[in-house]
Amino acid sequence: MLPSRTLNELAGYLGGNVLGDGNLAVNGLAPLENAGPDKITFLANPRYASKVAETGAGAVLMAPGGERYGRNVIEVANPYLGFAKLLTLFYTQPHPPLGVLAGANIGTGVTLAEGVSVYPGACIGNNVTIGNRTVIHSGAVLYEGAIVGDDCVIHANVVVRDRCRIGNRCIIQPGAVIGSDGFGYAPDGGSYYRIPQIGIVVLEDDVEIGANTCIDRAALEVTLIRRGTKLDNLVQIAHNCQIGEDCMIVSQVGISGSAKIGNHVTLAGQVGVAGHLSIGDNVMVGAQSGVPSSLEANAGYSGSPTMPHKEWLRAMAVVPRLPELKKTVNALEKRIAELESKLK
């Protein structure tokens, strides 16, 4: 059973302000529609403000100045962030250190720091280093010389290839592959000669990798994912790429080799990025866009090939009218031909 906490305690934790009964205790979170009196809910989108009047929640987390409809409220500047922090507070518990459980396969020269948990079926290669309080789940494979930092969670069936380095507080979801060989082949007449990929992958601190995502090792040096970047499921990062800090790479994005992505970049679902180009800081690229050339910083882009987002919106507004416009053009061409024939 989850512990109860008063609204005053929660407001202190969030840096918010209580309107109503600060001594009311709640024991978890629930959606606006389904919350009971022992739960706190949240309003992140003002579009749904009227639902505050209808909710059965004991309290509502919302932005300052909104209509509270007589409800107990905790006001915070960013309700969605507050919601995430309360989920962490109520539902995320520290992982108890279990040590190396029976059935785990540990190589020679392995360094295990304090509080590590290695589950049955995990395979830790020779000369691997694992930091404090890190958890390695069943089926995960760490090749020889891999390094994993403190407070990481390596989920089931993850593969971290040889010599790759994982920073602190990284989370790698099931089935992800870190350090697979880059796709490199040299033409040799009518066939292809495989180019050995001798580089590594480096994930800096607080990076998260989604399920079944693949990050290729560099041909010679480093494929780099910088601090705080989050990759969704089914993302492909090719060899020699550099991804900046605090980027959001959404599912089914593919980034070709040697691309350089700046800081705070968002690539929406199914974006394709060509190789050997640069995307500047604070860029947002819309879903299913194709990026064939470099993009300047601090702008939004959409389409395939990409163009500034506002131009793309104007272009898309024309598309439904194209059949009608084609008929109009055909009619005008016919009329012009008739007029020209009369002038001859």
Catalytic residues: 239
What one-character-per-residue DSSP string does 113-132 give?
A: -TT-EE-TT-EE-TT-EE-T
Q: What is the SS3 assignment for 216?
A: strand
What is the C-alpha separation between 274 and 255, in angstroms, rounded? 7
Cβ of 182: how many Cβ atoms within 10 Å?
Answer: 25
DSSP annotation of 37:
T
Nearest to 144 by CA among 105, 192, 90: 105
The length of the chain, given as a count of residues: 344
Give the C-alpha distances (Å, rounded to integers) separating 230 from 23, 52, 160, 182, 267.
37, 32, 17, 21, 11
Residue carrying structure tokens 């008739």: 338
Task: Report the DSSP pairing between strands 307-308 and 300-302.
Answer: antiparallel
At 43, the amino acid letter reads L
Instruction: Name the CA dihedral angle for 258, 213, 204, 150, rounded to a multiple of 10 degrees.
Output: -160
* Cβ proximity of 164 and 201 under 8 Å: yes
Structure tokens of 18?
């209580």
What is the C-alpha separation between 224 and 260, in angstroms, rounded? 10
Task: Tell me the Cα Rg of the chain.
Answer: 27
What is the C-alpha separation between 213 and 287, in angstroms, rounded? 18
What is the C-alpha separation between 164 and 50, in angstroms, rounded? 51
